[in-house]
Copies of this chain bind each other. A is one copy, B any other.
Amino acid sequence: MLFDKVAILGIGHIGSSLARVIRRDGLAGRLVAFDASGAHRDKAIELGIVDAATGDMGEAVGGADLVILATPVGSFADLAAAMAPHLAAGAIVTDVGSVKMAVIRDVGPYLPASVHFVPGHPIAGTEFSGPTSGFAELFQGRWCILTPPSGTDPEAVAKVVRLWESAGSMIEMMDAGHHDRVLAITSHLPHLIAYTIVGTATDLETSLQQEVVKFSASGFRDFTRIAASDPVMWRDIFLNNREAVLDVLQRFTEDLTALQRAIRWGEGEKLQELFTRTRAIRRSIIDARQA
Contacts of A221 in B (CB 8 A): 285, 290-291
A201:B281 contact, CB within 8 angstroms: yes
Q: Which of A75-91 contact B (CB under 8 A)?
A: none
Considering residues A202, A259, A281, which has the most beta carbons from chain B within 10 angstroms of its beta carbon?
Answer: A281
Chain B nearest CB from A1 CB (Å) reads 30
What are 25 contact pairs spanning A and B, CB under 8 A? A74-B268, A98-B218, A185-B208, A187-B218, A190-B197, A190-B218, A190-B223, A194-B219, A194-B278, A195-B259, A199-B277, A212-B281, A213-B281, A216-B285, A216-B288, A219-B226, A221-B291, A222-B225, A224-B278, A227-B281, A234-B275, A235-B272, A235-B275, A239-B263, A246-B264
Alpha-carbon distance A36/B120, docked complex (angstroms): 54
Chain B residue with the shortest CB-CB distance to A215: B186
Most chain B CB atoms below 10 A, which of A145, A216, A234, A274: A216
* B251 pairs with A282, CB closer than 8 A: no
Given A185-B208, A186-B216, A200-B255, 17 new contacts (CB under 8 A): A123-B218, A143-B217, A183-B215, A188-B219, A190-B220, A199-B255, A212-B281, A213-B284, A224-B278, A224-B282, A227-B282, A231-B279, A232-B272, A236-B268, A238-B271, A239-B263, A249-B256
Residues from chain B with a CB closer than 8 A to the CB of A223 are: 190, 222
Interface residues of chain A, those whose CB is within 8 Å of chain B, are 74, 98, 123-124, 127, 142-143, 145, 172, 181-183, 185-204, 208, 211-229, 231-232, 234-236, 238-239, 242, 245-246, 248-249, 251-253, 255-257, 259-260, 263-264, 266, 268, 271-272, 274-285, 288, 290-291
User: Contacts A202-B281, A278-B195: A288 and B218 contacting too (C-beta < 8 A)?
Assistant: no
